[in-house]
Structure 1
Amino acid sequence: MNEDDLAKALALAGASDPYIVCWRDLDPQSTTEELERLAEWVAWVIHRYRVDHKTIPPCWPEHGALVEELSALRTYWESCYQDDANPADPLAFHRDLTLTLRRLRDWSSLLGCTRTTHRPELVS
């Protein structure tokens, strides 16, 4: 990642410290705002790491587990690129990115959404 890419991604994150979101505690307006903020970062990740729709489908904001996982990944990413971060933190992020992408792929497979079709989750 070059310095321009890093600066742009940090600007998209919108915070100088890692930003932790407790989705359960947000009101509907705050949820909408946080999803918009997260969507910018997720778009960057999809482009930067060439993640396909089988891992992060376009309808990811409609699936709570995907939102939680991506939000946690963003927080972790932000913490790894702080001024006081350990020089090994970016390597740790990339190690854990592999695990996160595997979980996202598993959840997306269970959801059955495609590039063009969203399958709502059944509420029991």
Structure 2
Amino acid sequence: MIGDESLMALDDIFDPQVICWRSLTARAVDEQLAALADWVGWAVERYQLDHKVIPPCWAQHGSLVEELSALRSLWDGSFQDDSSPSDPITFHRELDLAQRRLREWGSRLGCSRTTHRPEPTPDP
């Protein structure tokens, strides 16, 4: 269980910037995925998100990584000292929309709580 103290420690990791996964080195991807995994673990617990929204294998699916990374950036930016009072509600509105997209992508991927299905490779 990730408590509020642990989450406050995560603030030191997060920089409210957009991560361009395409431009990262393999090492940077690993570092960013580890940081994102901490936030995703907290969000799953805090918002009681089940495997239909965020399957355990989310880190193995680019679309889910991109969506969750964008959510984390928005969340982090919404809770800065200089954030607008309306920023947290904006985050929650976007979280609602993101959950819909995550469910859709998860459904297409066919992963479950116990089974990972790799994404099909496109035909050349």
TM-score by length of 2: 0.90
Distance 1:106 1:16, change over 3 A: closer
- 2:48 aligned residue: 50
- 2:62 aligned residue: 64
The one-letter code matched in structure 2 to 1:48 is R
Whole-angstrom distance in 1 between the partners of 2:91 and 2:8? 15
CA deviations on 1:13-38 (whole Å, 9 max, x unpaired) are 43464032110001111111110110
Gaps of 5+ in 1: none
4+ runs deviating over 6 angstroms: none
- 1:12 aligned residue: 10
- 2:30 aligned residue: 32
CA deviations on 1:65-116 (whole Å, 9 max, x unpaired) are 0000000000000010010100111111111110011110110010000111
Gaps of 5+ in 2: none
Whole-angstrom distance in 2 between the partners of 1:29 and 1:77? 24
How many pairs were matched up?
Answer: 120
| Alpha carbons 1:55, 1:101 under 8 Å: kept | yes
1:90-105 equivalences under 5 Å are: 90-105=88-103
The one-letter code matched in structure 2 to 1:74 is R
The one-letter code matched in structure 1 to 2:62 is G
Distance 1:16 1:23, change over 3 A: closer
